[in-house]
Amino acid sequence: MTDLLRIEDLAVEYKTRRGTARGVDNVSLNLEENKTLGLAGESGCGKSTLGRSIMRLVPYPGKIVNGKIDLLLHEDIVFPKGVIEKGFVNIMDLNEEELRALRGKEIAYIFQDPMTSLNPMITVETHFQEIMKAHDPDIKKEEALDRAQEILDGLGISPERITDYPHQFSGGMRQRVMIGLGLALRPKLLIADEPTTSLDVIVEAQILEEMAELKELFNLTMILITHNLGVLAQTADDIAIMYSGRIMELSPTEALFEDPLHPYTQALLESVPDVSKPDKKLSWIPGAPPDLVDPIPGCMYNPRCKHTMDICKTTQPGLIMNDEERLVACHLFGGEK
């Protein structure tokens, strides 16, 4: 299998009044084609920032300060002002025009809240017309409309409703529209940032199922960002657990749930209820998430960890591979850096 995406030493900083916070701290990861990678962790751990960095859409005042983001293009991307040649392209080297050509065409991003992700002033049709026109200025209006209606139909939305405004749709339908917009140009990579968090569980299940079907249909590679480990258990091939802007563990989904390596992953799983084990006693992680503006020396997780050793307070553990080819950043598994 080939990699579609290779991220190397990515670092994102947020300049705030109090100081500089490292939202993403030297993250490296590779993503194989047609796989789904789950990014999980508590609020503020940098999972969304990582997702947005891939499109170079880090929210203000965040800034990518270091790193490489290589994306594999199977075909040349032709846009009005130039061409991006096929092969690996470093997204960090692209200019605004090239980025715009890539966004929506090769990479699609689905946001958390479908209620606020569509422009309330324009119809769903206009949304589709805009994205198609932006990437193919010569497209005919009728052709765009046909394609949009086909996409909506595939997502279970009646094609006549294309002339409706976003407020005339329910949350689940709006998220379907967002997915439809995301997939309108057949991108290779889909980044879904908590796509079902604001939906009720039944709609959540439907949307996840549809996304899994679409992934097969369009040969998508997916990054699914969520704090809901249950969602990942069903959908992800691999899961990366993030904490304070770093990847703590990256394992195949099954292995991660059966035998979590990192103490943080273990603690997270202990805090999730399990329907098959009604007697399971839930626990919690003591302490509070770390202050990213004023980072502590050593492992960022050490004040909350059950296994803290002396070295944890002085040296930051690097991400190392164990014998099962799983990645973990913890001194319990060696890997002094």
Partner 1 sequence: MTIPMIMLLLTFVFVIVRILPGDPALLHFERNVSPETLAEFREALGLDVPLLNQYFNYLGGIPFGDFGLSMQDFTPVSEHIQIRFPATLELTIYSMLYAVLLGLALGVKSAKNYDSVQDHGIRMFSIVTYAIPVFFLGMILQSIFSIYLGWLPTGTRFDPHYSTPATITGMYTIDSILTGNLTALIVSARYLILPTITLGTILCGIFIRLTRTNMLETLRQDFVVAAEARGLSANKIEYTYALRNAFLPILTMIGLQFAALLAGAVLTETTFSWPGLGTYLVQRIAHRDYTALQGVVVFFGILVAMVTLILDILYAYLDPRIRL
What's the CA gap between 118 and 100, in Å, rounded? 19
- Residue 116, interface with partner 1 (CB under 8 A)? yes
Do 80 and 252 form a contact (C-beta atoms < 8 A)?
no
Q: Which stretch binds partner 1 (CB under 8 A): 5-13, 148-156, 175-183, 244-252?
A: 175-183
Min dist CB 106 to partner 1, Å, is 9
What's the CA gap between 12 and 274, in Å, rounded? 35
Task: Select 120 or 273, whichever has its Cβ closest to partner 1.
Answer: 120
- State which of residues 105, 215, 262, 326 lies at the interface with partner 1 (CB under 8 A): 105
Provide CB contacts within 8 A for 201, sequence distance 6+.
Answer: none
DSSP characters over 33-62: TT-EEEEE-STTSSHHHHHHHHTT-PPTTE
- Residue 63, interface with partner 1 (CB under 8 A)? no
- Residue 83, interface with partner 1 (CB under 8 A)? no
- Residue 173, interface with partner 1 (CB under 8 A)? no
Q: Is 184 left (phi over 0), alpha (psi -120 to 50) or beta?
A: alpha
Judge if the upstream peptide bond of residue 303 is cis by omega within 30 degrees of 0.
no
8-state DSSP, 123: -
- Residue 283, interface with partner 1 (CB under 8 A)? no
Task: Select 165 or 333, whichever has its Cβ closest to partner 1.
Answer: 165
- State which of residues 2, 60, 81, 216 lies at the interface with partner 1 (CB under 8 A): 60
| Binding-residue total with partner 1 (CB under 8 A) | 34
**Footprint of partner 1 (CB under 8 A):** 55, 57, 59-60, 96, 99-105, 108-109, 111-113, 116-123, 130-131, 134-135, 165, 167, 178, 181-182
